[in-house]
Amino acid sequence: MKRIRIAVDMDEVMADYSGACLRALNAHYGTTYTKEQLKGMTLLERFQTYDDAPRTLHAILHDPHFYRTFDVIEGSVETLRTLSETYDIVIATAAMDVPPCFAAKYDWLEEHVPFIDPQSFIFCGNKNVVRAHYLIDDNATQLRRFEGTPLLFTAPHNETDDLPFTRLNDWNDVRSYFETKRKTR
Ligand SMILES: [Mg+2]
């Protein structure tokens, strides 16, 4: 590998997965939970008083258009555009759990990060197959499997976890992390 390669997760890192799910679940149950109220818990823990919440969430996620509705996480597009001038950026998304989302995820990426070649989109399951120097991800299990340097991106569900990874709270942190790396190389 000539250039340093950074693999970037999609849901909760570039695309606001929990925000979109919360919107859909709130609409379904007539609730008004905010992302602030998701801190330290999963969506299903938040909706645990509803017995059918797992089934409802499953149906939401399997709507093939749902992934197109995700908002962009603040700063992600701008920072990725800057980083792509210096680094190889690949998008590594664990899409195998929800195959109906493939097309919507692809369309979302084409719309929001058109400067990244679709040949660099990796739709995978286990991210130990991703060959890169860094992985930016909110999922501790994926970070543990990854063979390069794991970077934990803060999301509501991991915000209160004490995890053995460098934590990046937002895209300003991502930018600073790689600026510092560049200067010290
Ligand atoms: Mg994720």
Judge if 108 and 149 occupy the same domain.
yes
Q: Give 152-163 pLDDT, tens digit per residue.
A: 999 999 999 999
Task: Check 11, 16, 88, 138 and give the catalytic one.
Answer: 11
CA–CA distances in Å: residue 40 to residues 2, 43, 138:
39, 10, 13
Q: CA Rg, the chain, in Å?
A: 16
Q: Average pLDDT of 90-94?
A: 97
Judge if 141 and 154 occupy the same domain.
yes
Judge if 103 and 61 occupy the same domain.
no
Judge if 103 and 154 occupy the same domain.
yes
Judge if 141 and 102 occupy the same domain.
yes
* Residue 1: per-residue pLDDT: 56
Judge if 85 and 176 occupy the same domain.
yes
CA distance 3 to 178: 14
CA–CA distances in Å: residue 98 to residues 73, 93, 112, 172:
21, 11, 21, 30
- In the reported structure, the alpha carbon of residue 2 is separated from the centroid of ligand 1 by a whole-number distance in angstroms of 27
Last residue of a domain, one of 43, 69, 95: 69
Q: Average pLDDT of 70-96?
A: 97
CA distance 184 to 180: 6
- In the reported structure, the alpha carbon of residue 182 is separated from the centroid of ligand 1 by a whole-number distance in angstroms of 26
Judge if 62 and 77 occupy the same domain.
no
- In the reported structure, the alpha carbon of residue 132 is separated from the centroid of ligand 1 by a whole-number distance in angstroms of 17
SS (H, E, C) the chain: CCCCEEEECCECCCECHHHHHHHHHHHHHCCCCCHHHHCCCCHHHHCCCCCCHHHHHHHHHCCCCHHHHCCECCCHHHHHHHHCCCCEEEEEEECCCCHHHHHHHHHHHHHHCCCCCHHHEEEECCHHHCCCCEEEECCHHHHHHCCCEEEEECCHHHCCCCCCCEEECCHHHHHHHHHHHHHHC
- In the reported structure, the alpha carbon of residue 155 is separated from the centroid of ligand 1 by a whole-number distance in angstroms of 9
- In the reported structure, the alpha carbon of residue 143 is separated from the centroid of ligand 1 by a whole-number distance in angstroms of 10
Judge if 79 and 146 occupy the same domain.
yes
138 catalytic per annotation: no
Judge if 31 and 57 occupy the same domain.
yes
Mean of pLDDT over the chain: 96
Band (97; pLDDT cuts 50, 70, 90): confident
137 catalytic per annotation: no
Q: Is the pLDDT of residue 12 over 80?
A: yes
Residues in the chain: 185
Judge if 99 and 156 occupy the same domain.
yes
Residues with CB under 5 A from ligand 1 (ion): 9, 11-12, 138
Q: Which domain holds residue 61?
A: 17-69
Number of other CB atoms surrounding residue 32 within 10 Å: 8
Q: Is the pLDDT of residue 185 over 80?
A: no
Judge if 98 and 37 occupy the same domain.
no
CA distance 38 to 54: 16
Judge if 64 and 90 occupy the same domain.
no
Into how many domains does the chain fold? 2
Last residue of a domain, one of 53, 69, 85: 69
Q: What is the CATH number of the domain that holds 147?
A: 3.40.50.1000
